[in-house]
Structure 1
Amino acid sequence: MTDVLILGGTGWLGARIAERWMDAGAAVTCLARGGRDAPYGARLVVADREDDGAYDAVRDRQWDELVDISSRADHVRAAVAALRPVARHITYVSSVSVYAANDIPDADESAELAAAAEPGDPYDYAREKSAAEAAVRGAFAHRGAIVRPGLIVAPGDPTDRFGYWPSRFALAADGPVLVPDDPDGRVQVIDVDDLAAAVVALGGEWFTGAVNAVGDSLPLAAVLAQARAVAGHTGDVVAAPPEWLEVQGVSYWAGPRSLPLWLPDGLPGFATRSNAAYRLLGGRLRPLRETLQRVLEDERARGLDRPRESGLTREEELALIAALRADGAAGPARR
């Protein structure tokens, strides 16, 4: 039986990876701080990665596969140093944010990485991931996979970014919905269950190297149109110019008072990464509509009007639409 150690394994992505490994017949141990249960069937070892002896309880046996998803380089450095002698292979889940620039469409895994963070540097996600990758390569040369996902989506997403759109179209019903007037915007997502399956497949094959785990690059407008269709929205779609939205304090990408997935100009390489290697390795990409349907079902169960980590409240949105129309800045309403 394959013995798998997942550093984490109780959160959104980590739990999916644990479940997929157990589906494949592996014995799974999750090392985490506690506070959340490990997936049913997995063993939980409670440990704090800030502690010097965090890995003492899992260094007494050989592990066929080690999985880490941390975005703290110091945690990854300590883990690979402690577990290198007892782990045959590692799969590290990094991010496409690790790249130094987003200026070249269809860039592949050979693109330059961000400068690796040094101990004591202010926290920077891209540089932390870069430093973590370097630690993995240094400790597990020729026996380490680095998986670089883009925007991860699906039911349960704690960031609330992707789910905002099917949820909002469903909540609005026959009322108006505000969207960015961004004909050049792109979106590139991967379903969390497709990503988890890829992590398990690459680990099971002891793959060595890096791979972008990203979906196909799609126009933002087309993604929003699919979200609207899945939700059955029949009201107006009100497009706001990016410069007007910025003046109104509407943020890009994520967070409160934002229009999720919308990006500023000048990032032609963002959401356009090559997924050729991922596809060549057999990585699955389910149809976007299937993911949207799954997400909408989850959003309905959790409440379409619940407080969200990302997006506009319905009250904020309606106020913005009224102001946009009063200013005469709205594009033609679409039905």
Structure 2
Amino acid sequence: MRILVLGGTRFVGFSVAAEAVRRGHEVVCAARGQAGRVPEGARLVRVDRDVEDGLEPLVGEGFDAVVDVATISYEWVRRALDAFGEQVGHWTFVSSISAYAEPGARPTGAGDPLLPPRTVHGTRELMKDDPDLYGSVKVASEQAVTAAAGAKAMIVRAGLITGPGDEHDRFGYWAQRLARGGRVLVPDVDHDIQIVDVRDLAAWIVDAAEKGTTGIFDGVGPAQPLPDLLTAIADVLGADVEFVRASPDKLLELGVNPWAGPRSLPLWLPASHRYMASRDAAPALAAGLTPRSLADAVAGALDHERTLGLDREREAGLSPEDEAEVIAALGA
């Protein structure tokens, strides 16, 4: 097959392109080429999706399948559909479970209410002030894909993606922290969490292009309570740890934030998002998503952490100094 990956230099796009190349497909990656390299064996075509004619370098090329990993721009998605939507046989759009409107309500399936669509070009700065923007742009993008590609489209609402190339430091925080051992500050919560390794997600996306799988799926692994996941990570690492549990209220009082960002405990969901990571994985698993073992997922995340540097300034989590300070305050 001839596969166009809109992206291909970072995380999900890179992993999809690498998997497609590994299987012997001809892979073209369309990107600025500023965020990194494309996988060996793929061809980079430099484009600028911020401008109306930015895909012009691809004019005249034909593809059997397209994979679009556009993050926060509806216009990127629309322009790609205008250029290639009619000619390709399969179209995958990587969306997000952030598209759902009610993360505090128990989910029932992919038909759950979505956020209102917004046809804007988002930025990380805008998202800081408008946390629903990301999900709303994904909804608008999904609708554009459905309208243009119809029965040949697969929409993957991905959950928390882990593994090599992860730029968000959330799952990786726990892999490196538990590997270090000692007294580990954890949130005293019982909500579920779900992960999907980027390599497994990529393999499934390439499978879908090969087999013509279509529909809307939550791209997540099986759900389990966060305390169970943290215990399981410590077990596969053989880590000597003592969990120091603190209530959400106490953590907030001590300046520790949920989920992500500076001075946070990643994967801890606030009450307003209690069921965000309790999606039904069964449809995706039945359609071929095959999660690797937790040991493999943790090893991949930890290798990536070590490549980036364990002592770096993190996107999410607590520094050893901040964690010790909070644990001391709890003891006092």
Alignment TM-score, normalising by the size of structure 2:
0.92
Q: Does 1:227 align with 2:227?
A: no
1:52 and 1:302 mapped to 2: Cα distance? 36
With 159-168 and 118-127 compared, the bigger mean Cα shift is at 118-127
Partner of 2:41: 41
Which of 173, 177, 184 is the aligned partner of 2:184?
Answer: 177
Q: Where does 1:294-313 land on structure 2 (aligned, <5 Å)? A: 294-313=300-319
Q: Does 1:167 align with 2:176?
A: yes
Q: Matched residue pairs, number? A: 322
Amino acid across the alignment from 1:272:
S
Q: Which runs of 5+ in 1 are unaligned?
A: 327-335
Q: Where does 1:126-165 land on structure 2 (aligned, <5 Å)? A: 126-165=135-174
Partner of 1:280: 286
Partner of 1:14: 13
1:313 and 1:73 mapped to 2: Cα distance? 36
Query: Helix, strand or coil: the match of 2:171?
Result: coil
Q: Where does 1:56-67 land on structure 2 (aligned, <5 Å)? A: 56-67=56-67
Partner of 2:130: none
- How far 1:295 sits from its partner (Å)? 1.8
* Structure 1 pair 319–120 and aligned structure 2 pair: CA distance change class (3 A): closer
- How far 1:270 sits from its partner (Å)? 1.3
Q: Does structure 1 conserve the Cα–Cα contact (< 8 Å) formed by 2:120 and 2:137?
A: no
Which of 240, 248, 273 is the aligned partner of 2:254?
Answer: 248
- How far 1:266 sits from its partner (Å)? 4.0
Partner of 1:330: none
- How far 1:232 sits from its partner (Å)? 3.3
1:41 and 1:218 mapped to 2: Cα distance? 38
Amino acid across the alignment from 2:224:
L
Deviations 1:168-221 (A, max 9, x none): 1222x3x31111111x22110101111001111111222221111101011100
- How far 1:229 sits from its partner (Å)? 2.2
2:242 and 2:86 mapped to 1: Cα distance? 60
CA RMSD of aligned residues (A): 1.7
With 225-234 and 148-157 compared, the bigger mean Cα shift is at 225-234
With 245-254 and 282-291 compared, the bigger mean Cα shift is at 282-291
Query: Helix, strand or coil: the match of 2:151?
Result: coil
Q: Does structure 2 conserve the Cα–Cα contact (< 8 Å) formed by 1:107 and 1:269?
A: no
Q: Which runs of 5+ in 2 are unaligned?
A: 128-132
Query: Helix, strand or coil: the match of 1:323?
Result: helix
2:304 and 2:31 mapped to 1: Cα distance? 26
Amino acid across the alignment from 2:165:
G
With 249-258 and 110-119 compared, the bigger mean Cα shift is at 110-119
With 95-104 and 154-163 compared, the bigger mean Cα shift is at 95-104
Percent identity over the alignment? 39
Choose 1 or 2 for highest CA Rg.
1
1:56 and 1:112 mapped to 2: Cα distance? 37
1:204 and 1:59 mapped to 2: Cα distance? 24
Q: Does structure 2 conserve the Cα–Cα contact (< 8 Å) formed by 1:108 and 1:275?
A: no
Partner of 1:332: none
With 217-226 and 259-268 compared, the bigger mean Cα shift is at 259-268
Query: Helix, strand or coil: the match of 2:164?
Result: coil
Q: Does structure 2 conserve the Cα–Cα contact (< 8 Å) formed by 1:212 and 1:274?
A: yes
- How far 1:52 sits from its partner (Å)? 2.1
Query: Helix, strand or coil: the match of 1:162?
Result: helix
Q: Where does 1:190-205 land on structure 2 (aligned, <5 Å)? A: 190-205=196-211
